[in-house]
Structure 1
Amino acid sequence: MDMTDATPITMVTDHENFTVHTNVTTLIYPAEYYKLNALITFLNTYYIWIIFAFGFPGNTLSLFVIFRMSKTGLTTSLFYVAVLSSVDNITIILKIIENQTRQMKMSIDETGCQFLFFFGLTCAASANWTLIVISAERFTAVALPFKVALVWSLKRAVVIIVGVVVFLCFIHSHIFITVTHYEHYTCTVKERFHKYLMIWFFISASVFAFIPAGFLIVLNALTVLIMRRSTTRRQIMTSAYGHVHRAARRQERHITVMLVALAIGFLVLNIPRCVYVIAYNYICASDEDVMCSTRRGFVNILTTQIADSNHAINFYLYFMTGRKFRAHSLKLFQCRRATFLSSGPSQLSELPFTESS
């Protein structure tokens, strides 16, 4: 049932010597309406804490493992993973702060709203764009294996990350003009800018999800395609040069599995949000349709929370798909020294993503 039922109820009031009959129209909504609102309230109130419980410890452990692995030399791959883990944790903390202001448990003024929105959106998008950079580096390593060390030096890696952050800061800089704080409504957009809401909504969604998703699909598809086409050549090299090339082949496959796992994780969690943003204006024929608006609100909250989960899963993807990362993590749990500290530079051949430095 998509429409509300208007049911007239007769109320009888007895005042000593006379009786007054009053007809009152009460709106009775379907049971689905109350269930959806209960789910919306639950997701808005508690789901960020679930993300925090899984994501913050995982990202922190990633930083510890990367620190141990980088003692014999910091590579671009380790640098990118460290940036990704750090940005994911910052994003989770900012989302918790935003959640608590929305729940009226934390007071905030207009300046606080502006900084919270600015850094929250910038950090969330930075995590996704870091995945683009990692994918681009891996594509270069497969397509131009003899030039990757020149193209992706550690110094250039730092410059690229800084450039990405500056670009995203510019995209979100309008927040310092458009966002304010209203009593009872926490952080929101100033009324005079409401006519630009849909434009900014699509720009933000494009920067956060559409562009990263497009790049990840194309870069990873090309990477896998190039690797498959070069299988025969690698087999010839392996038979000619022995176990050295077999080890390189295993390493290349290992790195690709981790990268593809990260890309798939991002796409699975963010594509629902992309679909919602595209379909937003076509879901309900009219905002007066209460049930349709309620369903749309539920889908909005659900896809947002699913996309936010991407900031909590990377450590577990590293752990499941990366043999060396898993080995170092287990040694960290056991409070034992990692074996690469005593075995020398040869252990650098199996790092999370690429070997350029």
Structure 2
Amino acid sequence: MNISGNTTEDISYENLIHKIYEVFNYLLMPIAASSIIGNVLIIIVVAKDKVTTTNILFGILACVDLLATFIGPVLLIADLNAAMKTFLAASLFRITLREFLGQTIAGLSTWTLVIITIERLLSITIPFNVKQVVTVPRVILAEFATAIAVAVVQYLRHFLAVESLMFEGQWSMNPRSREWAEFFVISDWILFTGIPFIFIITASSVILRKLRTPFGQGQIQSARFRAVTTNLILANVKFILTNVPARLVTVILYYFKESISLNLYQEELIRETSWYLMHLNWALNFYLYILSGQKFREDVQKLFSSFAIPKK
């Protein structure tokens, strides 16, 4: 999305910017492949395990991350066909898929991690009552309500705050006004950065502190509890490290772009690099679970063993 609304610079840097998009699309392919394989394995392992609120939440997170991963490869594959590439460039489908659907799924992934963090926080602060408070129907209802809320907010950001304009044969989204541009940036920072980031950092700190108490040490003797909690902490650390750069870039390029004197090519290079880091967030959970969870490793080994051809 062209937040600055500057279309004149696009003419000078158009070829360079297209080259950036092309390079990063191909760089994303191994990340996308890793994410698809890893998240599918997570979903299969979780589906084979017993039904618990924790398994449902981690399964939902894997499904959302899987959906987020598909968008880039789908567009790249479509671009391999000249006719399809021309059609997508001249229609609103590409920009709707990339901007609205892509950011809606990314936002849902963020808030799903918040819900998982809440579940873990309650599991360690009220362990004797958590099963009555956090039930499977309530978890599913919370995730469904979250999905609706995220979709509504993203609709406001991508359809009411901006207008679609045709430029050089391609559609782009531009803010309807300076006020709408600020709404776009501020709403992203409040709803998809500030609130979830602060909660995830604070709750993770509380969980780690609780685990160091005598009561927490008793709780952590459970192998399953230890593995799931470790998975969450690592996922939260990974989420912060891979998402902070993109969030900072959005604000810096909007409020301080003129003072740091970046041309449009440099701006897009920085923006695409930060978004590349965000894609890593959707691909790394499987490897974190493998590293931190013995039961998950054993479940994956059993899964692969079941696919192996028996020796005669």
TM-score range, shorter chain: 0.7 to 0.9
1:149 aligns with 2:120: no
Q: What are the residue-to-residue correspondences of 1:116-155 with 2, within 5 Å?
A: 117-155=99-137
Q: What are the residue-to-residue correspondences of 1:1-357 with 2, within 5 Å?
A: 40-41=20-21, 43-69=23-49, 73-98=50-75, 105=85, 107-108=87-88, 109-110=91-92, 113-114=95-96, 117-174=99-156, 175-177=158-160, 178-180=162-164, 182=166, 184=168, 186-190=170-174, 192-193=176-177, 196-228=180-212, 230-231=213-214, 233=215, 247-248=221-222, 250-281=223-254, 283-285=256-258, 289=261, 293-335=264-306
- Structure 1 residues 113 and 279, CA gap change in structure 2 (3 angstroms): closer
> Deviation per CA, 1:190-239, whole angstroms, max 9, x where unpaired?
574576224213323443333322221011011111222x22x466xx6x
Q: Which moved more, 1:60-69 or 1:91-100?
A: 91-100
| Higher CA-based Rg | 1
User: CA offset at residue 325 of structure 1?
Assistant: 0.8
User: CA offset at residue 319 of structure 1?
Assistant: 1.2
Query: Matched residues in 2 for 1:136 and 1:210: separation?
Result: 16
Unaligned runs of 5+ in 2: 1-12
Query: Matched residues in 2 for 1:79 and 1:204: separation?
Result: 27
The residue aligned with 2:9 is: none
Tell me which stretches of 4 or more aligned residues in structure 1 moved more than 6 Å.
36-39, 100-104
Give, as a single letter, the amino acid of the residue that structure 2 aligns with 1:202.
Answer: I
**Structure (1 or 2) with the greater strand fraction:** 1
- Structure 1 residues 278 and 114, CA gap change in structure 2 (3 angstroms): closer
User: CA offset at residue 181 of structure 1?
Assistant: 6.0
Query: Matched residues in 2 for 1:61 and 1:247: separation?
Result: 27
Q: Which moved more, 1:40-49 or 1:178-187?
A: 178-187
**Structure (1 or 2) with the greater helix fraction:** 2
- Structure 1 residues 39 and 257, CA gap change in structure 2 (3 angstroms): farther
Query: Matched residues in 2 for 1:192 and 1:50: separation?
Result: 37
Query: Matched residues in 1 for 2:275 and 2:127: separation?
Result: 38
Query: Matched residues in 2 for 1:213 and 1:226: separation?
Result: 20
Contact preservation (8 Å) 2:231, 2:288: yes
Normalising by structure 1, we get a TM-score of 0.71
> Deviation per CA, 1:266-306, whole angstroms, max 9, x where unpaired?
0110111122223224554369x4x5554333211101111
User: CA offset at residue 132 of structure 1?
Assistant: 0.4
User: CA offset at residue 326 of structure 1?
Assistant: 0.9
Give, as a single letter, the amino acid of the residue that structure 1 aligns with 2:121.
Answer: F
Query: Matched residues in 1 for 2:169 and 2:307: separation?
Result: 51
Which SS does the other structure have where 1:105 is aligned?
Answer: helix
Q: Which moved more, 1:210-219 or 1:89-98?
A: 89-98
For the aligned residue pairs, the C-alpha RMSD in angstroms reads 3.1
- Structure 1 residues 192 and 251, CA gap change in structure 2 (3 angstroms): closer
Alignment length (residue pairs): 288
Contact preservation (8 Å) 2:185, 2:251: no
User: CA offset at residue 155 of structure 1?
Assistant: 0.3
Identical-residue share of aligned pairs (%): 22
Unaligned runs of 5+ in 1: 1-32, 239-244, 338-357
> Deviation per CA, 1:13-47, whole angstroms, max 9, x where unpaired?
xxxxxxxxxxxxxxxxxxxx9xx969834543312
Normalising by structure 2, we get a TM-score of 0.80
- Structure 1 residues 252 and 68, CA gap change in structure 2 (3 angstroms): closer
User: CA offset at residue 252 of structure 1?
Assistant: 3.3
